[in-house]
Structures are given as C-alpha cells and as structure tokens.
Amino acid sequence: MNSRSVGAASAGDSKTYPTLINGEQSDCLPIADRGLQYGDGVFETMLVNSGHIPLLSRHLSRLQLGLQRLQINPLSTDFPEQLQSYAQQWMPTGTGVLKCIVTRGQGARGYAPPADTVPSVIVSGSAFTLPDDFTREHGVRVRLCQQTLAHSKTLAGCKHLNRLEQVLARSEWQDPMVYEGLMQDAFGNVIEGTKSNLFFVRNNVAYTPDLSMCGVAGVMRAELLESIFPALDVRCEIGSYSLQDLQAADECLLCNSLIGVLPVSSIEDSPFSIGSIGTAAVQAARHSLLGQRP
C-alpha cells in the first residue's frame, strides 16, 4: 500500500480569478436569489487547459438537461462563447477550473417558482493541478461512506445545487491518505463517489452503476462509455451492483472531468491491482483532457 498522500491540491491551487455574475465582475448575489434560498439551480465544474475547455459540449448538454428538468428559463445563445472567452482571457496557460452556476434567479418568498424569472449566471475560476504520474500509475485509496443517496428520477443524473448528501458523506473522514468515499443508495447499490463516477472491470468487461434514480452522470463517464472504451475495444455494461460485485472486480476506476481517470489501489481493506484496461483508460482520459492524440 502506498504511503504517499495522493490527490491533494498543490500550493499553487489557491489562486483564483474574477467572478462574473450575469457578465459583470462581482462577488455579491441578491439575498432573494433562489439558488441561495432553495438550491434552485444547476452547476458545471470544467477543466481549462491553456484557455481551452475540454469536453465543453458534454458539459453544455448536461447543463441543458438540468435546466430542462428544473424548468429554468434557457440561457442566451452566446453562453458557450462567454465561457470560452472567460477561459481564454483569465486562464490562457496551464490548467485551471472554471465553475459555472446557473440559478433560477430572484423570486419572492415561497417555493412556487415565478414564471418570469431571469436566470442568474455565475462564472468563476481557480487554479488546478492535474493528478501527477505517481497518482495515475499507483492509484488512490477509497473508503465506504455511511451517508446514502436518495432516489429521485427527476433529479437523477443532473448536477443540481443540492449537494448536502455529498457534503455529509465527505465529512465522514479527515484522513488525507483517503482520496475518495463511495456512496450507495438505500438499497445497498453502489452508485458513485462523493466527487467522481465509478467503473470496475471484471473479465475484461467494464461495469458502471445505473444512474437513472440517483447520482450525477459525469461527463468523463460519458466519454468513457461513448468514446474511450469503444476505442479500446472494451465492452461496457450499466446496471445495479452491490459491494460484493465491487469486491469481486479485477480493477476499479474513478473518473470526473478534472482528474480524468484514476485507478483505485484499495477500498477499505480490499486491495485492487492496476490492470491493463485501467492503465489504458487513464492515459486515454488524460489525452482527452489535454487535447492530445494518444
């Protein structure tokens, strides 16, 4: 087992960039904004590499899905250009994170959403360092969380602003050697990590949990399912899986749009090998994020 702490932010990751609210530089949001009052909105967290936003089309598709599910008024047609302009202006070199929050906008007291609200769009940036070679080669330690995920067919897959389940799950450990915590639903199905999606490999087949009732449908998960694994000639299956299914796997992988793909070295006391499929997926995801050919 590795004694090195992996996945921690570097000292340079504290750098931040201006926050834009509806296109204007500001750090103040009206108290009546429904994102603050009720968590009424969605968000995207995107990697920026030298002014470019990898997988931007996937991020925009998920954002649009969330807006439709919550019945929030659509954004302006030049919204993608606004995101790209921010990335090019403030993060022209190196890697960073661009976060976009879209709330329903301001409204009067009460749950009923006003029909004429104008969405609030908040764009901010911060520095970010990609996982290093040691982490990508040797993997990360993972634990199991007690906090479970509730079922909601309407919200499942969306990256909405209500993240209290993940907040409570992440508060369960302070050990810097543990990179991530896995969450289950109330029926014991393994769903995802607090900040990542999960794949496991058994007999050269990649499996990932069904997210039709809970969980976030990550953009890197979609990239693996629709692009990376088909290119590697790896068959994928989506279904309901228990901890026993996970423990019987040959390899386990975590993924999101910032880290790409990371192999799992252990879950609790169960070690996992770093196999050929995981290694290939890790490299392919990194190339995808950096805009390189494998």
User: Residues 1-15: pLDDT tens digits?
Assistant: 444 544 444 444 667
Residue-wise pLDDT tens digits, 204-219: 999 999 999 999 999 9
pLDDT digit string, tens, across residues 149-203: 999 999 999 999 999 999 999 999 999 999 999 999 999 999 999 999 999 999 9
Tell me which residue of 164, 128, 124 sits closest to 148, measured CA to CA.
164
Structural domain containing residue 89: 11-127
Catalytic residue among 44, 95, 135, 159: 159
Q: How far is CA 197 from the centre of its chain?
A: 7
pLDDT at 8: 40
User: Could you tell me if 228 and 280 lie in one domain?
Assistant: yes
pLDDT in tens, 116-145: 899 999 999 999 999 999 999 999 999 999
Verify that 94 and 171 share a domain, yes or no.
Answer: no
pLDDT in tens, 13-41: 667 799 999 999 999 999 999 999 999 99
Residue 5 within any structural domain of the chain: no
Alpha carbon separation from 73 to 18, 76, 83 (Å, rounded): 25, 10, 18
Question: What total of structural domains would you count in the chain?
Answer: 2
Told to judge if 192 belongs to the known catalytic residues of this protein, a careful annotator would answer yes
Write down the mean pLDDT value for the chain: 93
Buried b (16+ CB within 10 A) or exposed e, 200-238: bbeeeebbbbebebbbbbbbbbbbbbeebbeeeebebee
pTM, to two decimals? 0.92
> What CATH number is attached to the domain comprising 78?
3.30.470.10
Among the listed residues 44, 45, 148, 195, the single catalytic one is 45
Strand 41-49 relative to strand 205-209: parallel, antiparallel, unpaired?
A: unpaired
The question of whether 117 is a catalytic residue gets the answer no
The residue annotated as part of the active site, out of 44, 180, 192, 251, is 192
Is 195 one of the annotated active-site residues of the chain? no
